[in-house]
Amino acid sequence: MKSRRSIFKTVVAPIVVAAVFLPTLATALWAVTHGRGAAVYSNVYGLSISYTSLLIAVAAVLLALGVAYVSRLIYLRRYGYGDVTPIREIQSQTAYTDPGDSK
């Protein structure tokens, strides 16, 4: 059961997302490069969005993902990967007793 979910998350979902967003993104790039960036399209909710705004939003998302990726690489380099870091001692798990409960 887990393998199906993993295949869905790694293969099917990105293909669906690409099939949905790439035509709109390509249209926006074409419109902006041909001087029609102020042209609008209506999304599924009926909102009018200019192509320039779409490209700015995509650029902001890509920038945020890039910063997150670089910061994750820096973090892993600084603190080590999971199998390289030393394992901390496991604290003994004892039941909590309130010191005021002594009789």
**What's the confidence (pLDDT) of residue 58?**
94
User: What is the model's pLDDT at position 85?
Assistant: 45
Residues of the chain with pLDDT below 50 are 1, 84-85, 89
Helix (H) or strand (E) holding 4: helix 2-7
Q: Is residue 51 part of a domain?
A: yes
Residue 98 CA to residue 101 CA, distance in Å, equals 6
pLDDT at 9: 82
| Within-domain flag for 97 | no
Which is nearest to 27 in space by CA: 17, 15, 39, 11? 39
pTM given for the model: 0.64
Residue 19 lies in a domain: yes
Q: What pLDDT score was predicted for residue 55?
A: 94
95 within a domain of the structure (yes/no): no
Query: Residue 44 has what pLDDT?
Result: 83
* Total structural domains within the chain: 1
Size of the chain in residues: 103
The tokens for 55 are: 């490209």
Q: Which tokens belong to 81? A: 């990967």
**94 domain-assigned:** no
pLDDT of residue 97: 65
Domain encompassing residue 74: 2-80
